[in-house]
Every structure is written in C-alpha cells, then in structure tokens.
Amino acid sequence: MASEDKVSRSEAETTPNGGSSEMRKIALVTGITGQDGSYLTEFLLGKGYEVHGLIRRSSNYNTQRINHIYVDPHNVNKARMKLHYADLSDASSLRRWLDVIKPDEVYNLAAQSHVAVSFEIPDYTADVVATGALRLLEAVRSHISDNGRNIKYYQAGSSEMFGSTPPPQSETTPFHPRSPYAASKCAAHWYTVNYREAYGLYACNGILFNHESPRRGENFVTRKITRALGRIKVGLQTKLFLGNIQASRDWGFAGDYVEAMWLMLQQEKPDDYVVATEESHTVEEFLEVSFGYVGLNWRDHVEIDKRYFRPTEVDNLKGDATKAKQVLKWTPKVGFEQLVKMMVDEDLDMAKREKVLVDAGYMDAQQQP
C-alpha cells in the first residue's frame, strides 16, 4: 500500500482522543519510521495505547519498519496507529498535531541520527536534533498552557554526549561531545532539563547507549557487518570495508530499550536516566562473534578504509545503568552474543532470499533491495 494512503491530514480530526476509546492513553511518536519508533509503537500498542506517528515526506516510501502493524484507518475499531505528515524543522506542524491529537505522552525520537553523516551536514543535523527538540518542547509547553491539560515528554538522548569522557558513564558523568550530532544532542538534553525546571514540564532525558536489532539502519556498523556477512555467506559479495574497528561500544537490544523510555514517563517525578547493558565490546569483537557464528574468518573479508574514520572518534562507551535498574526496575534481557546471533540469523535469511532473485535473473548481485 502506498505510503500516502496511510497518511491523512484529517483522520485524527475525525477521531479526536481516540474516538470510541475515551479511556485509552494516546502517545505521539516522532521518528516512528525509525528503528526505535517501530519497537516503541509495537510496545505501546501492546499496552493498549493509541499511537500517532509523525512522518516526514520522502520521495520513496519510508514506512517499511511499521508496515506489519499498519491497519487501514477506515477500520476504526482496529486502527490504533495513525500517521501524519510533519517535520521537526516545521514548528507549525508540531503544534498543529499536538492540538489535534491531544496526546498524553510525547516521545521525541526523530533525528538525523548518523554520527559520521553529522560531520557532512552539521547545520541540518543541529536544526533537526537540537532546534527540532526545542521546537517540540515549545509546542508542548504552549499547548499545555493554552489547553490546561498535561503532556509527558521523552527526549531521546545519547551516550554520544559523553564522547571522550572515560567509562563507566552515568547520569553524573560530564558531557564532552565529539561530533555535531553529539553536540546537538547535548543541546536537546539541556533544553529538556530547562523546560522541566522553568515550566514544571514532565520531561525526561533517556541517555541511551547503542542499541541494535535486525531493524537497525544499514549504515550503522553492527547492521553493516551482519548485512554484509549474510551476503558473503551466500556468495553475493566477498569484501566488507570498515573504519575504526578498535572503537568499543555498549551494545544492547532496541526492543529492550523502548521499555525503559516508557517506564521513565510512568514515574511520579520526571528525571534523566542512563540505559545500558554495562558491557562494552569493540567492533573487532563484534566481527569475531558474528563471522565465527557462521563459520567464517572475518580477516578473510574485512578491509580497513580510511573513508570510514571520523574527524574525532568516541573510543570507549560503557554505561552505568544503576539508577534505571533501581528506580525504573529496568534490566536488559538480550545479551551481546544473543543480539549478534539474532541479527546474523535475520540477515542470513534476507541474503538467501536475495540469492534466489539473483539466480533467477530478477536482481543484480550488486543491487540491494
């Protein structure tokens, strides 16, 4: 189904506050088409929420990660996820949808989220990641002030904000950002704190360490590896070019982390929380485990390409999630090896399907779907 068919300017207007389901909680999610947006939406639907997602216009369909949970809005009893066009660079669209949807909770997940790309498009990154968060906070504040109703706000903060400050990193660790993306996330963090202090907004910063899944964007290192590994295993490619494989990250499973976002908004008081597994592994270790799992040696396939090195790197991230464990009672369920295997299994399946198409002459080996 065409993406435009899923997006309506008026559907929320015809079912304000969920139509027949007055008691249902309503969430507004920016970045719903991204990795976290898709898991969070599944999670909230499972809790009985009505979920409204803001999606931006693109020349290609960008709803692949949520197609499986989409229900045609004409099916008013079943359609609990609704999509609307908006953009974090367009303040008027944010305020308008808040007024129409009247959410109980707002999750700001939208971002130009690629660290290396933020060096290429720093101005745009700052506009969406930093000023975009400010636009949304201001829209929430003014909506509350005009309508006298409460909204809880979640800001997607990042371990990248710690940058060069050595691990373990907790809520009290100083930020030292190392990219335009990270500096912009710091600004969004402090905007959120300021709106909480200045206006009494229920606003939380989740400082999430890297989290991955089979839905991870294909140009982040974990997915880049598992995607290439699947194709190498079935004979569709031979080489994988990577940058700094000595960088170390605290990698968790995205499906676990969205629960922590929700938990932050269910507390008595708003606060900021680190969410992490408290284990760190280098990219090289990720290569060892993933290639080893399918009986390959990564050294036979990986080449280092300077193009993927960043002007400034974040060498070592490892979170201290004590506060989230104690206050939110949150713990990660999926460990490092399980995560790697989950991603490899899915990408091996995808590569096998590609191979069938290539062998039948329907797809070029170089062409990825």
Contacts to ligand GDR from residues 175-214, by CB under 6 A:
209-210
Task: Based on the residue annotation, tell me whether 179 is a catalytic residue of this protein.
Answer: no
Contact 238, 323 (CB under 8 A): no
**Residue of 181, 191, 202, 257 marked active site:** 181
Task: Based on the residue annotation, tell me whether 181 is a catalytic residue of this protein.
Answer: yes
Contact 112, 185 (CB under 8 A): no
Query: Pairing state of beta strands 248-249 and 281-282?
Result: antiparallel
If you search the block for the tokens 């968790």, which residue do you land on? 252
Least Å from the CB of residue 222 to ligand GDR? 6
Contacts to ligand NDP from residues 192-211, by CB under 6 A:
208, 210-211
CA distance 293 to 288: 8
Instruction: Kindly state the greatest CA–CA separation across the chain.
Output: 63
The closest of 50, 42, 62, 65 to 15, measured between CA atoms, is: 50
Binding site partner of 246, from ligand GDR, ligand NDP, none, Cβ cut-off 5-8 A by kind: none
Read off the amino acid at residue 210: N
Determine the interface stretch with ligand GDR among 96-104, 240-248, 253-261, 334-342 (rule: CB under 6 A): 240-248
Q: Does 86 bind ligand GDR (CB under 6 A)?
A: no
**Residue of 160, 212, 259, 354 marked active site:** 160
Instruction: Give SS3 for 128.
Output: helix
Task: Name, in order, each residue with C-beta under 8 angstroms of 192's C-beta and a sequence gap of 6 or more.
Answer: 133, 137, 153, 155, 157, 203, 204, 205
- Contact pick of 112, 118, 173, 280 for ligand NDP (by CB under 6 A): 112
Tokens of 44: 């909230």
Least Å from the CB of residue 18 to ligand GDR? 32
Contacts to ligand NDP from residues 1-60, by CB under 6 A:
30-31, 33-37, 56, 58
Q: Does 169 bind ligand NDP (CB under 6 A)?
A: no
What is the total count of residues that contact ligand GDR (CB under 6 A)?
23
Task: Based on the residue annotation, tell me whether 70 is a catalytic residue of this protein.
Answer: no
Residues that bind ligand GDR (CB under 6 A): 113, 115-116, 158-160, 209-210, 219-221, 224, 242-245, 247, 249, 283, 308, 310, 313-314
